[in-house]
Amino acid sequence: MFLSKITLNPRSFEARRDAAAPYELHRTLAHAFETVPGRDYRVEHGVLFRLEPLSYRDAQPTILVQSHTEPDWSRLPEHYTTSVKYTAADPDFVSGQTFQFRLVANPTRKEKREGRKQGRRVALADYLTQDDEADAPTAAQAWLSRKGQQHGFEILWAGSDDFWYEAAKGSTVESRQAIPLYGVRFDGMLRVTDPILFKAALQSGIGPAKAFGFGLLSLAPARF
């Protein structure tokens, strides 16, 4: 597994475009990997990415990228970055380990559609898990807890901050389709309950819309 940290050059047109359009960023990152026509490079190479939010004024946007195969960042557009750092990692986990984490996810649920096998994904915004209880967790937080049960970890605590943005998917301005996407940034602490499931989740990401920069789980040593 390879972890990369890319700082975008604010003077680059391509970098400014990608910082405002995650799907365009997804397309640009493809240059760093060998691609096969008709196949999704992100799936083939296990690519997950996230554009880090700016923590202070005039900061340069940073992209975090995780992949199964080694990227060649020299293939990015000229002057696209101001710095690139990456390292190889193959972490192992044991039950009971605790980590600080960050996850920017696209919490959704599927609603059945009459006459169709596939349900429609609906954002889990503005829902409570229990009616008329002020301290009830949001549906997004409940979604994260369920994902933890599926993927070998439990949430010890987590804060969340949700947002919407209009994503565009297509090859030309005329053909692009605006897609409103719901995102939640979770920051908190988790405990590993099943090391095998947890490592698989770390490698494959959590939740849908990974081509739009969702699903990358980042870990740091727990601090008490």
Q: Residue 108 phi/psi, 5° resolution?
A: -140, 170
Helix, strand, coil abundance in the chain, percent, nearest 5:
25, 35, 40
The whole-chain average pLDDT of the chain stands at 85
What pLDDT sits at residue 161? Answer: 87
The model's confidence at residue 60, banded by pLDDT at 50, 70 and 90, is confident
User: How far is Cα 171 from Cα 197, in angstroms, rounded to an integer?
Assistant: 37
Are the C-beta atoms of 184 and 176 separated by less than 8 Å? no
For 38, the 3-state DSSP assignment is: coil
What pLDDT sits at residue 177? Answer: 56
What pLDDT sits at residue 169? Answer: 59
pTM attached to this predicted model: 0.86
What pLDDT sits at residue 119? Answer: 58
User: How far is Cα 142 from Cα 28, in angstroms, rounded to an integer?
Assistant: 34
User: How far is Cα 198 from Cα 193, in angstroms, rounded to an integer?
Assistant: 8
Are the C-beta atoms of 157 and 137 separated by less than 8 Å? no
What pLDDT sits at residue 171? Answer: 42
Virtual CA dihedral for 214, 216, 219, 224, nearest 10 degrees?
20
